[in-house]
C-alpha cells in the first residue's frame, strides 16, 4: 500500500483515467464496427468523419498507437470507397 499522500492521489487519478480510456476505446470500437456494417456510401462517409476524429483522439492520448489509428482509418476509407 502507498505511504505518501501523493501516491494515494496518483492511484485514484490513474483509476479514473483508466476507466475514461476504457470507455472511450470501447465506444470507438463499437463505432468502427457499426461503420463496417454499413451499406450506404453517403451515411458511411458521414459517420467516418466522427470515427476518424475518435481514433485521432485515442492516438493523441496514447490509448492506441498512432499507426494503429492510421491503419484503421485507411482501411475504413478503402471500405467506404468500395461501396
How high is the pLDDT of residue 77? 97
CB 54 within 8 A of CB 27: yes
From the list 38, 37, 26, the residue with the least C-alpha distance to 64 is 26
Residues in Cβ contact with 83 at an 8 Å cutoff, skipping those fewer than 6 apart = 38, 39, 40, 41, 44
Question: What's the pTM value of the predicted model, to 2 decimals?
Answer: 0.86
Distances (CA, A) of 61 to 20, 25, 36: 11, 11, 24
How high is the pLDDT of residue 2? 79
Per-residue pLDDT of the chain (83 residues; tens, 9 = 90+): 778 999 999 999 999 999 999 999 999 999 999 999 999 999 999 999 999 999 999 999 999 999 999 999 999 999 999 99
Amino acid at each position: 500500500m502507498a505511504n505518501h499522500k501523493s501516491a494515494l492521489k496518483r492511484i485514484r487519478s490513474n483509476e479514473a483515467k483508466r476507466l475514461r480510456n476504457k470507455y472511450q476505446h470501447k465506444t470507438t470500437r463499437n463505432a468502427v464496427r457499426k461503420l463496417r456494417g454499413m451499406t450506404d456510401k453517403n451515411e458511411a462517409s458521414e459517420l467516418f468523419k466522427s470515427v476518424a476524429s475518435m481514433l485521432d483522439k485515442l492516438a493523441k492520448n496514447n490509448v492506441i498507437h498512432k499507426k494503429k489509428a492510421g491503419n484503421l482509418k485507411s482501411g475504413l476509407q478503402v471500405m467506404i470507397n468500395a461501396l
